[in-house]
Structure 1
Amino acid sequence: MSLSRDVKDRATELLSALYGCEAAQDTLTALEGLLAEDEIPSAKTRTWPALSERDALLITYGNTFSAPGEPPLGTLLRFLKTHVGDAISLVHLLPIFPYSSDDGFSVVNYLEVSPELGGWEDVAKIGEQYGLTLDLVLNHCSRSHLWFQDYIRGEAPGRDYFVEADPADPRLALVTRPRNSPLLTPVEVRDQGSRWVWTTFSADQVDLDFANPAVLLEYVRILLTYIRRGARVVRLDAVAYLWKTLGTPCINLPETHAVVKCLRLIVDAAVPGTLLLTETNVPQVENLSYFGEGNEAHLIYQFSLAPLLLYALTLGRTAALQTWAAELPPPPVGGGYVNFTASHDGVGLRPLEGLVSEADRDALLRRMRERGGYVSMRRLPDGRDAPYELNISYFTALGGDDGEAAQLARFLLAQTVALSLQGVPALYVQSLIATESDLLGVERSGQTRAINRRRWDYGELNALLAREGSVQIRCLNEIVRRLTLRRAHRAFHPEAGQRVLDTEDGIFAVLRTPRAEPGSQAVPVLCLFNFTPETREADVAPLCGGEGRQSLVDVIGNRRIACPRGLIRLPAYAALWLKAV
């Protein structure tokens, strides 16, 4: 396929800013060659529909479930068909490629499926049932990747693909760190001796040099391969750290945004409706910047939601959650938020910056440590360490002394908030089945992130799901039921209106209003939550008080609820979706 004149002009402008005019023309020619290299399904043969209230995403490793004589990707599909069905529409397969560390995020080969998981044919079978989300791990690759082996040998092309720096350079102190491990790692290079390479995340994850246009072209080739393999969404892992310029924090740089804009142009041209999702675990304002002016990411994560929900449910205070949600701008046309509570990573703490005080954050972390959680640290420019990420199962994090029923109620409340807010909900597979913290996994691996990455024997899990009244089957059935209910209400369309109501602390209320369409009635839904262990009263006048109605229907509970004087009684940890009748 060929690029339109408008796309060429915009790409030339971006590439010129990155590489200069002459290199920009050469890079653009190479990009067009990549697009023409193999046939990519065009808008005539494949277009993805716009996201709607019927969409929800499941996040999972390819080997979360295992069964004898079956590739783990096949077992995953069996779990989805048996227990989830069409309650979700998208499956995010965390890196499925050969790797050397970090559970897949230290990629050895971007174009092959790890034989331990299955093959591309198993990925295709999942793609026949669900929209695929695949990871593009583009900030770094494994030390075992052929590119880095080229670098060590001083051979093309990899010898020019990595970032070197002098550890004595004082400008390195300005670099924003997501870890407290060394920023640079020494390696022996043939005929050159010891060199120091940039390793943002670990010594086994070596950062690529996107100031070399050949590196950009390598990742465009990989991106197009994923699109050809059926990816509806491509997640850009750790993209905020992509560009390095000494003397700057080396995070969220203008050049990084320019690279994202280039990838957006290519994706929109290749298969319209394919979406880019940026993974930027940073404070809110920086996170929002990856929408650009509607010309960067199609989707961004709501990283502040998970820690805010933990904070609100642990301390019974919703003021910070309410303020954050009320101030959240609507996404640009064609863009959207991804709302989640848990993932393969821990709960990010940087997205709490500016939303709660350090004292309240530390109070939350003390409670989480009491429940067996770990807190990983990052290195500040002054050499001190600061909390970066909380590692704990989200279900365990919401435990307490009041029993399993209350724990499950809190957990379901948190998941239902994520289902209610403007955007697309994303659920981690471990959350579907109320997985507790995997302390044995931490002990075996020595990695605190393993606490929320349990690998299940499928026979063991099925036994739990077959046990009447088990917390696993109660959690799974209820989340699937709420996802199914959500699909039937246009008020949960990603572009439906959202108004956060002013409520007493401990109560959270969001009014979702669908767009009016000819021939259909726009039925608002009031999402109402009690974050406290006491019965509370809440004002529901936005739905019934103004029109004199005396009752509402709770969609989740499938019951009428009286609201005399426009008030409603909310049991402890209640989660309601209310509509007028």
Structure 2
Amino acid sequence: MPTTLLTPEQAERLRLAFDDDRDAQTFFLRLERYGPELLDSLRAVYLERADGLLERLLEIMLHAYHTRPADLKRLDEARLLSPDWLQSPHMVGYVAYTDRFAGTLRGVQEHVDYLEGLGVTYLHLMPLLRPREGENDGGYAVADYRSVRPDLGTMDDLSGLARELRGRGISLVLDLVLNHVAREHEWAERARAGEEQYRDYFHFFADRGLPDAYEASLPEVFPDFAPGNFTWDEQAGEGGIGGWVWTTFNTYQWDLNWGNPDVLAEFVDIILNLANRGVEVFRLDAIAFIWKRLGTSSQNQPEVHHLTRALRAAARIVAPAVAFKAEAIVGPDDLIHYLGSGTHHGRVSDMAYHNSLMVQLWSSLASRDTRLMEEALRAFPPKPTNTTWGLYVRCHDDIGWAISDTDAARVGMSGPGHRHFLSDFYSGEFAGSFARGLVFQHNPATGDRRISGAAASLAGLETALEGGDETQIELAVGRLLLLHTVVLGFGGVPLLYMGDELALTNDDRYADIPEHAADNRWVHRPRMDWALAEEVQAHPDTPAGQVNAGLRQRIAVRKTLPHLHASIESRVIASPDPRVLVLRRDHPQGTLLELYNFSEDRVVLPAYTLRGQLGEDARDALSGSAFHLSRPTLTLDPYRALWLTAAEVNA
């Protein structure tokens, strides 16, 4: 069982670690395939320390391989036979906080029928590994990667839930915070106690010299309640005296020093341990921040992509069923590198968030104009064909108006002016706005005002229900369904945020909870309304019922369309009307043309502009209706969506 990575003596020692020749063959084949990627990236980052680090990682990987449960090894083989599993139109995601969805992990297990009924095949449970007590950034200040938050259950409960989900064809997704740990994590506590090994896990400074030099080019993530990127700690210095520690996000979240190979080894072990518990997708939180470089923003550095590729390669050797999703909320030119470019092409993360699409959806909804969206999407570099997008209308976070000044200028807009308009519109300050949102993290220096709010409230349903205006209620329902239809049809994994399928509106009760009161993002993190979930089934004519039924129908249609496989890119087609977005997807089984009316107007389009795309006869997959494009015009009702295929394809 030779491998180019190892000397004959090393290969023989490795072979002797196996009792079963078939297991040995499997491990060596994967090492032959992914080992060069692993070693290349280790050498790029750690130079002469790389070979020794590889030996250490092999020990970690061997242990994880030997302890990997048989049913997960079977899943590994199945995924190797279907490497595009994450790109399938059958993939539909659901994102929820465990406690807000069902109380505990066992509670989630009791509601798997609900998820299965929605058509969910991918369940992302928001941070559930044990965080620090008290304020913890929504769970992203992890104090222990090897235990679950006590009120949610145990690691055995997590394994049991993963097993139940797996049996229903649902992949479990968990957050893995890479950039930082809680101040109370064992590594940080041992660093403060003076253990030199663990002091090198973090970035410590005796005085403000280097921190001030770094600050000159570092942005602030939370300028309101965590200004600056460094925190004074009374025990952070040598000998237990005070010192400065790097804290990008909050004072209690200590940034890790990924320049130390021990940190990489720790995370390989953590990933494989959780993978053996049944986690199938890791959301790599704050991945953009993990490498620090003076004179830069310390985001998107080349080492980030080498480190991610190394983690992915190690995971592929032991658990090829596992996939990585990059939580990189960055510009398109930087984002594409998280899926892989150049020598990393298709070898970094398997999935990344398409934050730009989400921002452009809300932008077009407010302006009733899709030209900026067209320009932004057209400028996106193509992704590797073996990767996919994570697509969403809303998530747990605020909305930052990531509008490119360059894109805006190309359509005759002012970038700063449009961002100002969007903040005004979605905070309800703009005259005639239907939205009900809250300003989050106003930065006077830059003028940035991010927005919190539930999708239904931002889309106007809260205002319409309070006013009892049936016309406005109908329009708000149409907006919600339109946004979700774009996400379902764009080509990637649509991620449905908990409660959006029930059109839940803002939950102002967050202000009554002391640890949430200062963070208005909790306004769109409600508790699941199980009574409403039952009611919408019995009363599909209510606004919530209409949204729920509409989403279920669109999810079912999505799963029948091979055109929505994520290896295919959506291409923007010049629209004959600025209120309408037109996307084209060219699949070997035919063309899918998607039309979306982002206005409350009935829009009449010249049919000849579509006839050249599909021919004279087309069928709408969403409604089953036939469209004869030989006629002069095609009319789109307010917020109407069409998924058109040539009629003969479905004959």
TM more than 0.5: yes
Secondary structure at 1:65 match in 2: helix
Secondary structure at 1:186 match in 2: strand
**1:514 lines up with 2:580 in the alignment:** no
Displacement of 1:489 in angstroms is 0.9
* Percent of aligned pairs with the same amino acid: 25
For the 8 Å contact 2:98–2:128, the answer to whether it is kept is yes
**1:15 lines up with 2:15 in the alignment:** no
Give distance in 1, aligned partners of 2:354 and 2:321: 21
**1:373 lines up with 2:416 in the alignment:** no
Per-residue CA deviations over 1:491-530 (Å, capped at 9, x if unaligned) read: 1111235332111211111122222xxxxxx132221111
For the 8 Å contact 1:303–1:348, the answer to whether it is kept is no
Displacement of 1:571 in angstroms is 0.6
- Name the counterpart of 2:601: 534
Give distance in 2, aligned partners of 1:311 and 1:99: 35
Displacement of 1:90 in angstroms is 0.9
Question: What amino acid is aligned across from residue 188 of structure 1 in structure 2?
Answer: E
**1:479 lines up with 2:551 in the alignment:** yes
Give distance in 1, aligned partners of 2:570 and 2:97: 32
Displacement of 1:364 in angstroms is 1.0
Per-residue CA deviations over 1:279-318 (Å, capped at 9, x if unaligned) read: 0111221112212222211111101111111110111010
Structure 1 residue runs without a partner (length 5+) = 516-521
Displacement of 1:57 in angstroms is 1.4
Of 466, 469, 481, 2:541 maps to 469
Give distance in 1, aligned partners of 2:254 and 2:381: 36
Which deviates further from its counterpart, 91-100 or 116-125? 116-125
Give distance in 1, aligned partners of 2:269 and 2:449: 33
Secondary structure at 1:576 match in 2: strand
Of 65, 78, 87, 1:47 maps to 78
Per the alignment, do residues 353 and 264 of structure 1 end up closer, same or farther by CA in structure 2, a change over 3 Å counting?
Answer: farther
Give distance in 2, aligned partners of 1:44 and 1:545: 44
Give distance in 2, aligned partners of 1:459 and 1:570: 35
Displacement of 1:466 in angstroms is 4.6
- With the length of structure 1 as denominator, give the TM-score of the two structures: 0.91
- With the length of structure 2 as denominator, give the TM-score of the two structures: 0.81
- Name the counterpart of 1:167: 208
Give distance in 1, aligned partners of 2:615 and 2:401: 44
- Name the counterpart of 1:204: 252
- Name the counterpart of 2:54: 28
For the 8 Å contact 2:359–2:402, the answer to whether it is kept is no
**1:114 lines up with 2:149 in the alignment:** yes
Displacement of 1:201 in angstroms is 0.8
Give distance in 2, aligned partners of 1:541 and 1:77: 52
- Name the counterpart of 1:420: 489
Give distance in 2, aligned partners of 1:457 and 1:221: 38
Per-residue CA deviations over 1:458-488 (Å, capped at 9, x if unaligned) read: 3465456655533223212211210111100
Per the alignment, do residues 507 and 368 of structure 1 end up closer, same or farther by CA in structure 2, a change over 3 Å counting?
Answer: same
- Name the counterpart of 1:440: 509
**1:176 lines up with 2:219 in the alignment:** yes
Per the alignment, do residues 198 and 484 of structure 1 end up closer, same or farther by CA in structure 2, a change over 3 Å counting?
Answer: same
Question: What amino acid is aligned across from residue 581 of structure 2 in structure 1?
Answer: F
Of 193, 205, 218, 1:153 maps to 193
Structure 2 residue runs without a partner (length 5+) = 1-26, 409-414, 429-434, 465-470
Question: What amino acid is aligned across from residue 375 of structure 1 in structure 2?
Answer: V
For the 8 Å contact 2:89–2:565, the answer to whether it is kept is yes
For the 8 Å contact 2:540–2:549, the answer to whether it is kept is no
Q: CA RMSD in A?
A: 2.5
Higher alpha-carbon Rg: 2
Secondary structure at 1:63 match in 2: helix
Per the alignment, do residues 226 and 407 of structure 1 end up closer, same or farther by CA in structure 2, a change over 3 Å counting?
Answer: same
Per-residue CA deviations over 1:368-395 (Å, capped at 9, x if unaligned) read: 111442333487xxx9244263211122
Q: How many residues are aligned here?
A: 566
Question: What amino acid is aligned across from residue 557 of structure 2 in structure 1?
Answer: L
Of 303, 307, 331, 1:283 maps to 331
Secondary structure at 1:426 match in 2: strand
- Name the counterpart of 2:478: 409
Displacement of 1:42 in angstroms is 4.8
Structure (1 or 2) with the greater helix fraction: 2
Which deviates further from its counterpart, 43-52 or 270-279? 43-52
For the 8 Å contact 1:176–1:251, the answer to whether it is kept is no
For the 8 Å contact 1:47–1:271, the answer to whether it is kept is no
For the 8 Å contact 1:283–1:353, the answer to whether it is kept is no
Per the alignment, do residues 65 and 339 of structure 1 end up closer, same or farther by CA in structure 2, a change over 3 Å counting?
Answer: closer
Displacement of 1:97 in angstroms is 1.2
**1:450 lines up with 2:450 in the alignment:** no
- Name the counterpart of 1:392: 453
